[in-house]
Amino acid sequence: MSISKEQKREIKYYLSLDENSLYSLLAPKVRGSSKAKGNAYEGQRRFNKLKPRLYKKICIDWRYCSKVDDPKLGDDVNLVATLAAFLASYLAFELSPVILVTILVKQGLRKFCKCY
């Protein structure tokens, strides 16, 4: 999969953020608030609600554990880009697949998918 420089830059930016900042990006903005980001707690709640669907799509349908050692997915940028494209094509999220996958990568996909 070929990713543009802009996509790489965006993914690297998200990978540089901590989990709370990523959760904040998933939360809806509060009307009248001057904050650009939403509430981390709300974002985490929304993320946790999607975890069963994410598990099914990534771990079962995409068979992540069988691809753990694929050199094309060896760096986090390529892994996030590939998985986000896969999710976008199968699931209609109102949330960014790039941010969702970035959170999972930061938390550990092997652990999430139970690749033992």
CA gap 62, 16 in Å, rounded: 26
Confidence (pLDDT) at 3: 85
Domain that holds residue 18: 5-112
- Contact by Cβ (8 Å): 86, 100: no
The answer to whether residues 110 and 68 touch, using CB atoms and an 8 Å cutoff, is: yes
Model confidence, pTM: 0.86
- How many distinct structural domains can be found in the chain? 1
What pLDDT, on the 0 to 100 scale, is given for residue 91?
A: 67
Full pLDDT tens readout for the chain, 116 residues: 678 899 999 999 999 999 999 999 988 654 444 454 568 888 999 899 999 999 999 999 999 999 998 888 889 999 999 999 999 877 666 788 999 999 999 999 999 999 98
- Residue type at position 24: S
Q: What are phi and psi of 96, to 5 degrees?
A: -65, 120
